[in-house]
Amino acid sequence: MRTISATAREQFYKQSSGYSLPILIEITHGVSGYMDPLRLANNSETLNYNGNDYYPYPFIFSFPAILDNGSIQNGKIQICAVDQQIAKIVRSTSTPPTVRAVAMFYYDNGTVTFEPVAAWDFEIANVSGNSEVISADLIYETRLEYEYPVGGFRPIDFPGVF
């Protein structure tokens, strides 16, 4: 369970307030010649978090949804592709890039409060795009799809399990 500061809780409970909830994304891609990882913020100015600068860049991040049956639906991301840098990175990588998204609480009333309120780790899949926008699915918890051998745990091999 994440601990949220008293300042953040107080602002969340107000009917109107001056706080914002920027999303920071860190895209790890492994392509040489480009900043790795790319650190972007859907904000109008550069934000510093954990000693790293997150640069302002237009993108839309859709959170993963929990469906009625308990399964987790993929998140989605749409990134502005006007300068084509991210499109070149996506086309150049041989392994799927990973994305870490962090929802931050930002409030400045003379004393700046800047803290994480939620975080997710994803793999990028189903990338598509054009000259204006790059869209991708953000796959959450792929390790839940791993297959394990059935009946492989025998008392002779794993006595502590039985």
Res. 56: pLDDT tops 80: yes
- Whole-prediction pTM value? 0.72
24: confidence class by pLDDT, cuts 50, 70, 90: very high
Residue 79 to residue 134: CA distance in whole angstroms: 5
Supply the pLDDT for residue 151.
60
For range 80-84, the mean pLDDT: 75
Instruction: List the one residue out of 20, 73, 64 whose CA is nearest residue 42.
Output: 20
For range 126-152, the mean pLDDT: 74
CATH of 18-161, one of 2.30.110, 2.60.40, 3.30.1560, 3.40.50: 2.30.110
Those residues whose C-beta lies under 8 Å from the C-beta of residue 27, and which sit 6 or more positions away, are 37, 38, 40, 86, 89, 97, 98, 99, 124
Count of all residues that appear for the chain in the document: 162
